[in-house]
Each structure stands twice: as structure tokens, then as C-alpha cells.
């Protein structure tokens, strides 16, 4: 009896530790209708859910503020080697120049993909920060949808220990159902790989111990740049 009680106490203890990240049940969901959306503030809804699953999130106004934030971010976290996607949002931010001005070695994945394989993977594995944008972000679940493309390698969000996604509000979808609708629209040109990133890498074992950063970045940050049209 004592062994049984000790076992049950251990399970309860480990289960409590595993609840480091909340899982909220949707009170509006039914077996016939589960579309919820995100309310009037889709940026706020996305960041709330993203932070709820262990991510860090920030919203800034305009490209100038975004550049200043990224520069401070790489300095604060002592990032020395950075790989990033080639993406129109990152181009408007001029992310490569911003990171180089902060003293970092910076590689664009579009250029790395055309380098010799040994050079490409050496730099990819050495990077301590990966920066991407997204195809879409889902406010309801706090998830980022990333499509693998020639200039947008999936390893950029996977290999470095720290990951930063930079998006605009126009990339945010209210609900996961909206993502499925967009995929249906693009079914003739879907990539070979799509991933949904929902917070930092997490894994659990049969002892109910939750560990972050084992199969991917242990620290993930989302930067939403608002009011870009006027900046």
C-alpha cells in the first residue's frame, strides 16, 4: 500500500510540473461548431496565446522601432552568429544590416543554400539565433505556420538555440480553420514541408517530465511590427 501511494504521489507531482504551460479549454467549442476567432485585437490575442505556451512576444509600431528593438535584442542575448530567411518582411526591416551593425556575423539562407554543403551546414549549426518571418500566424492557438522554400529553409527556425519570428498584422489569421482555408486555396503550390511552431521545443517522457529545448530552440520570441505603412 505504501509503494502504491508513493507511486501515485510521484505521478501527481510530475503532472503538476508538466503544467508549466497552460492548456485552456474553449468554452464556445461544440461538436458541430468550433470556430472561435480572436476578437477585435488579433495582435493582442496572438501574443497572449503565444506567451501562454512558453513563447516571448513584443509588439512595436513602425520599422524604425522594430530595427531598434532587434538591435537591442541581439546585444542583450549576446548573439554572435545569425542566420535568417530571405523574406519580404525581413527585407523591409533590413534585418541583415541591422544585425551586422550590432556586430554579428550574418548569413542569409538564400545565399547559404547556394554555398558548398560543408560551408552551409557549418554555419547553420554554428548559429546562435535564427530569424524568420511566417506564412501565417494563428491567433487562436498562438501558432506560426512556416512553409519551407528555397530561400526559407526550415532549419533556420530549428537549429539555433534561440529563434525570433518577425511578422506584420496582415499575416495573422484569427482561427486555425482559417489556415485550412488558405491551404485549400494554395493546394496547387503547396511546399514539401510545413510546420506549426507553438512556443519553444517541448518534450515529455513516460515519467511526465516536461523538458524544453531538446529538439529545437528553447527560447522563442515573436515580434509583431504594427503601423508599417506610415513608417
Cβ–Cβ < 8 Å for 226, 43: yes
14 confidence band (pLDDT: 50, 70, 90): low
The residue written with cell numbers 493546394 in the block is: 187
CA distance 74 to 82: 9
Please name the residues in contact with 201: beta carbons below 8 A apart, sequence gap of 6 or more.
Answer: 212, 213, 214, 215, 216, 217, 218
Residue 67 has pLDDT above 90, yes or no: yes
Secondary structure, 3-state, the chain = CHHHHHHHHHHHHHHHHHHHCCCCCCCCCCCCCCCCCCCCCHHHHHHHHHHHCCCEEEEEECHHHHHHHHHHHHHHCCCCEEEECCCHHHHHHCHHHHHHHCCCEEEEHHHHCCCCHHHHHHHHHHCCEEEECCCEEECCCCEEEEECECCECHHHHCCCCEEEEEECHHHEECCHHHHHHHHHHCHHHCCCCEEEECCCCEEECCCCCEEECCCCCCEEEEEEEECCCCC
pTM to 2 decimal places = 0.83
Q: What is the mean pLDDT of residues 50-71?
A: 95
The DSSP bridge pattern shows strands 143-147 and 136-138 to be antiparallel
Q: Where are the domains of the chain?
A: 2-226
Question: Residue 228: its pLDDT value, please?
Answer: 83
More confident residue, 202 or 98: 98
| Strongest mean pLDDT among 7-11, 46-50, 113-117, 216-220 | 46-50
Residue 162 has pLDDT above 70, yes or no: yes
- Range 2-226 has CATH code 3.10.20.30: no
Question: Residue 188: its pLDDT value, please?
Answer: 77
CA distance 123 to 216: 17
Max distance between CA atoms of the chain, in angstroms, equals 70
Instruction: Give per-residue pLDDT as tens, 180-198.
Output: 889 888 887 888 888 899 8
27 confidence band (pLDDT: 50, 70, 90): low
Question: Residue 174: its pLDDT value, please?
Answer: 94
Amino acid at each position: 500500500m505504501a509503494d502504491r501511494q508513493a507511486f501515485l504521489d510521484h505521478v501527481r507531482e510530475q503532472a503538476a510540473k508538466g503544467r508549466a504551460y497552460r492548456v485552456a479549454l474553449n468554452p464556445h467549442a461544440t461538436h458541430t461548431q468550433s470556430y472561435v476567432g480572436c476578437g477585435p485585437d488579433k495582435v493582442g490575442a496572438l501574443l497572449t496565446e503565444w506567451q501562454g505556451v512558453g513563447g516571448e512576444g513584443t509588439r512595436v509600431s513602425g520599422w524604425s522601432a522594430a530595427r531598434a528593438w532587434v538591435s537591442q535584442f541581439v546585444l542583450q542575448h549576446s548573439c554572435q552568429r545569425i542566420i535568417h530567411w530571405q523574406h519580404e518582411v525581413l527585407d523591409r526591416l533590413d534585418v541583415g544590416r541591422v544585425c551586422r551593425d550590432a556586430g554579428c556575423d550574418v548569413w542569409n539562407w538564400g545565399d547559404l543554400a547556394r554555398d558548398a554543403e560543408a560551408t552551409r551546414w557549418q554555419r547553420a549549426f554554428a548559429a546562435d539565433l535564427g530569424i524568420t518571418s511566417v506564412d501565417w500566424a494563428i491567433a487562436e492557438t498562438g501558432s506560426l505556420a512556416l512553409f519551407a522554400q528555397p530561400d526559407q529553409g526550415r532549419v533556420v527556425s530549428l537549429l539555433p538555440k534561440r529563434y525570433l519570428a518577425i511578422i506584420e498584422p496582415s499575416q495573422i489569421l484569427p482561427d486555425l480553420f482559417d489556415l485550412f482555408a488558405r491551404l485549400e486555396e494554395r493546394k496547387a503550390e503547396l511546399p514539401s514541408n510545413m510546420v506549426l511552431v507553438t512556443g519553444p521545443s517541448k518534450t515529455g517522457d513516460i515519467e511526465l517530465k516536461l523538458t524544453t529545448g531538446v529538439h529545437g530552440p528553447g527560447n522563442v520570441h515573436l515580434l509583431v511590427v504594427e503601423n508599417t505603412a506610415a513608417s
